[in-house]
Structure 1
Amino acid sequence: MNQPEDVEVIIAHDRRYKFHASVLARNSVLFAEMLTEANAAQLSNKAKQAGIKTRWMIELVALPSAEEPGGRLKRALSYAGVVLNENGRAPTHVCEYYESILYAFYNTEITIDDEDMRDVLYNTEKMLNIAEYLGCVPLIAKTIDVALVKHGQLMFQSIAAQPVGWIKLGLRIKSELIFKEAMIHLVGNYNRLKKNPESTVALRGLPSAVRNLTNHYHQGLVKKARHLEVQLITAYPGHMMMPSDDLPIKREHYAKEILVWMALSFFRHWFGQKIIYEKGSNCDDGGFELYTTIGRAGEAYMDKSIINQFHTKAPMTKKAMNVLENHLLEIKECMKGHVEKSGILKNKCQLDVHRHGVEWLTCVEVDRNDFPWVRDEEPTTGQKRGRRKGGNEIVQMNLREAQRMREEQLQRKEYEIFRTEGDEEDDGDEDEDEGL
């Protein structure tokens, strides 16, 4: 049986919606506070006979702004709605944002169809601002996550290009896929991002838990890279160190392997220069180019032109040169094995790096238990038999979570205001000191 649509929500003069108070209050903290019996209009018998069912009227009185990211709603008696006059400016999508969220209360799928992923990220953040204001993020988070994932490789390319923005979004909607993907690229490209002033400011804007997690994974990646570098610089391929089983080994046995030792010396000369010039773990790419080159072996590095430079300092016969170069190829294959065994070039992200290559390491394994919201979750002890949560309990749980997120948002806002005021006071003190 159809229930009466007893709430009218007015977003603009041409955007008026009829909803059910029970549905809005069940899914939104704000509506639960506004749609109380004390705030409801008492319909007379005459009004009921005339078919009037609206008991609550809510209007948007302020568009989203820096001070009020979600805009502002209030109860109204009668109102024609805001007239959105763009006057040639880029059109606002606030009506679409509100409409998508309100319809999601009725299990309508949220779609984000922008082709430019920068617009997708921007519009999603704006929609989440409204959802946080309404207190319904837990309800729509999963639908937004699904809508974003449908963009496939376009989304993964965007995450690789701006991981900080996407990691913030992943936090807000508790998306494991987005958060993990962004964390892999953030850690892999950390050296380069730290040197960019704009990126540095963005990194500082991340919650402390995320910054600590990023540092933790980055230190792990650096440790892994340096371990590989030690292996490469200390490796002795084949039986170089034990050319004979008869101990002690006589010098003539080592003398037979002199060209192998020269080839290894040439490799270490080349590799040592790369490390000194900070092409390894300290490089902007975390050593990606160097390790990739060594992983290709063959003529990918130390080609004829480089070998000839060594031969000018250590000249030998043409036959000896050919033998040495063959030994060097064997050494390169051995070093390639070390790189492959380390797993530092393995791709752990969803981005197709063969089609959309990146210039940093993507081998970071992000543990689900390290996700900030997973750490905060209360452990649940599931029972195979017994009572399960009912619908009302699930709704109440979602509302409590939305209320908690709303309170955290207010606390962050108060902290930002406090910090800004503190910075202004410090600036004033510095001016006074300079005057003295």
Structure 2
Amino acid sequence: MEDTTSDMDVTLSPTLAAKEAELEDVETQLAHMSYGSRTPATWISKALDELHSQPKGHLDVGIVLIILDINDFSKACRVHAYNLFAHTRLRKACEKFALRPPHQGIENLLVLEGKDGIPVLVPRPLSYDITSASARSISYAETTRAIDEVQPGPNQGESWSRYYDIFLRIISGRDSKSIGISRDNLDVALRQITALVDIANAHHCDISMIAEKLMVTFHVYGGRLYTAVGQDPIRWCKLGMDLQDEPLYKEAFIHLVGAYDSIYGKTTELPSQHNILPLNVQGMIAAEARELKDKRMNIDLLLQSMSVLRTTKGKTAFVSHYDDDPAAYDLVNLFRDYMTDHIRHLRWDAPLVPTYLCSHTEGCNTVAGFYRLLSRGKHAYMRYEDVMKHWNMGLEGDDAETVKSTLKKLKETAKKYVQPLVVSHLQASGSEELHYLTCVKVEAEDYPWLAEGST
């Protein structure tokens, strides 16, 4: 006999796998009871009575009755068959019970079942009644991945029946404002939308069909959305990928690359505890992080090997010897030491000791803070007065002017070197306060759905 659940992501619970033949016999009996039988469809009657008492605007039309909570028939709803079957793979599973007379306008009955992981909609005969001994012996377990992050807890105030109610409103064409996703609490909205993505995947629903309405909800949060992305980039990156939403995915991706060392540790691979993201996305993040680190190293080398050009009698040359210009040469070495001390700290956690040149209170002890400081130039670091203390203020006349002009040129050159690192491609405000770089430019090949499509 054909398996009722052959076209659904539903299998028998492992504890009942050995009773598969017995289960088919039970469902055959249940189906037989509905064919022209006068057996009352008690569930349908109770559910319809509750449904008719609901406020106007509930899902109360259509020939498909869906019971979302066997202990609370007020959570039942009716949907049009063409909406349900067009967006899921439930049609074939429902056809097994489609040849009997309808009951009170209902031709198909589906029940939300499953205790482990994500529960799914299971077709049942119209005469199905949970109070029957045979029906009680049937148990289903959903086979797609379980997500602890979405499984509602006692303090979350929502259940899978609520998530399914939202899902059914979406596929029924309801306006985005009336589908029930929170427009006031972003954390709740994230939990709801993450659950909806998993429900859609469990029923083979095209994500792009629901993504537009889901993202409309997110857009009402404005800048708060992108601030939240920075606080939990892993989960938002996964959701952006699932919804194939480029702005959302890009924002999270930039955070993950920039904060790679602080999030994942200074390793070359992402640790397994962060496997919420697919391996290919983890690889993209790791590759971009290595590329960013290489860019930093090249710029660091430039900062540590800087010289300065001097023009004398129409001829321009690098200051490379004390005899050329002792004050300028000494200043160049002082400038290089400043760069080297900070770079050693950022790269190898070498201690930063406060000196007359830097008290290390200006944010220079973080990666982004250091390069931002250099990009500001002028009096942001190595102030002229502090530099002059190196000579105990003993320089005068041309030597003092040489130090001032040379320091200015060194800072201008350093600013030019670090400029590519201080550019931010984030949508969120406040990127200038982050301790990591946000200069990553996300290309088409970094979007997994675009990269896969191109191949």
TM > 0.5 fold call: yes
Q: Is the 8 A contact 1:243 1:253 kept in 2?
A: no
- The Cα shift of 1:257 comes to 3.3
- How far, CA to CA, are the matches of 1:128 and 1:253 in structure 2? 67
Residue matched to 2:359: none
- The Cα shift of 1:285 comes to 8.8
* 1:165 corresponds to 2:201: no
Residue matched to 1:20: 80
- How far, CA to CA, are the matches of 1:281 and 1:373 in structure 2? 38
- The Cα shift of 1:22 comes to 2.1
Question: Any residues of structure 2 matched to 1:226-241 within 5 Å, and which?
Answer: 226-237=297-308, 239-240=309-310
Q: Is the 8 A contact 1:9 1:16 kept in 2?
A: yes
- How far, CA to CA, are the matches of 2:304 and 2:294 in structure 1? 15
* 1:61 corresponds to 2:113: yes
Q: Is the 8 A contact 1:297 1:336 kept in 2?
A: yes
1:136/1:282 CA distance change after superposition, 3 Å:
farther
- How far, CA to CA, are the matches of 1:303 and 1:107 in structure 2? 64
Residue matched to 2:101: 43
Aligned residues between the structures:
353
SS of 2:189 mapped into structure 1:
helix
AA in 1 matched with 2:168: L
- How far, CA to CA, are the matches of 2:450 and 2:299 in structure 1? 32
Q: CA RMSD in A?
A: 3.7
- How far, CA to CA, are the matches of 1:160 and 1:263 in structure 2? 40
Residue matched to 1:123: 192
- The Cα shift of 1:372 comes to 1.6
AA in 1 matched with 2:282: R
- The Cα shift of 1:41 comes to 5.0
* 1:97 corresponds to 2:175: no
- How far, CA to CA, are the matches of 1:59 and 1:368 in structure 2? 42
Listed one character per residue, the Cα deviations across residues 68-104 of structure 1 (whole Å, up to 9, x for unaligned) are 224453425357999xxx9985422433311221121
- The Cα shift of 1:151 comes to 2.0
Question: Any residues of structure 2 matched to 1:200-279 within 5 Å, and which?
Answer: 200-237=271-308, 239-240=309-310, 243=312, 255=323, 257-278=325-346
Q: Is the 8 A contact 1:260 1:327 kept in 2?
A: yes
AA in 2 matched with 1:8: L
* 1:330 corresponds to 2:409: yes
More helix by share: 1
Q: Is the 8 A contact 2:112 2:119 kept in 1?
A: no
SS of 2:68 mapped into structure 1:
strand
Q: Is the 8 A contact 2:111 2:124 kept in 1?
A: yes
1:32/1:357 CA distance change after superposition, 3 Å:
farther
Residue matched to 2:367: 287
AA in 1 matched with 2:109: M
Residue matched to 1:386: none
Q: Is the 8 A contact 1:222 1:281 kept in 2?
A: no
Q: Is the 8 A contact 2:65 2:106 kept in 1?
A: yes
* 1:364 corresponds to 2:440: yes
SS of 1:9 mapped into structure 2:
strand
- How far, CA to CA, are the matches of 2:303 and 2:237 in structure 1? 35
Calculate the TM-score normalised by the size of structure 1: 0.70
Question: Any residues of structure 2 matched to 1:275-424 within 5 Å, and which?
Answer: 275-278=343-346, 287-303=367-383, 306-307=386-387, 310-312=390-392, 316-319=394-397, 320-321=399-400, 323-340=402-419, 343-353=420-430, 357-377=433-453
Q: Is the 8 A contact 2:373 2:380 kept in 1?
A: yes
SS of 1:178 mapped into structure 2:
helix
- How far, CA to CA, are the matches of 1:80 and 1:87 in structure 2? 28
SS of 1:350 mapped into structure 2:
coil
Q: Is the 8 A contact 2:226 2:427 kept in 1?
A: yes
SS of 1:273 mapped into structure 2:
helix
Q: Is the 8 A contact 2:304 2:337 kept in 1?
A: no
- How far, CA to CA, are the matches of 1:78 and 1:16 in structure 2? 16
- How far, CA to CA, are the matches of 1:59 and 1:244 in structure 2? 92
- The Cα shift of 1:282 comes to 11
- How far, CA to CA, are the matches of 2:365 and 2:110 in structure 1? 53
AA in 1 matched with 2:249: F
Structure 2 unaligned spans of 5+: 1-60, 132-151, 352-363
Q: Is the 8 A contact 2:94 2:123 kept in 1?
A: no
1:325/1:252 CA distance change after superposition, 3 Å:
closer
SS of 2:254 mapped into structure 1:
helix
Calculate the TM-score normalised by the size of structure 2: 0.67
SS of 1:298 mapped into structure 2:
coil
- The Cα shift of 1:305 comes to 7.1
1:55/1:323 CA distance change after superposition, 3 Å:
same
Structure 1 unaligned spans of 5+: 380-436
Residue matched to 1:32: 91
- How far, CA to CA, are the matches of 1:93 and 1:294 in structure 2? 52
AA in 1 matched with 2:430: V
1:114/1:252 CA distance change after superposition, 3 Å:
closer
AA in 2 matched with 1:42: R
Residue matched to 2:65: 8
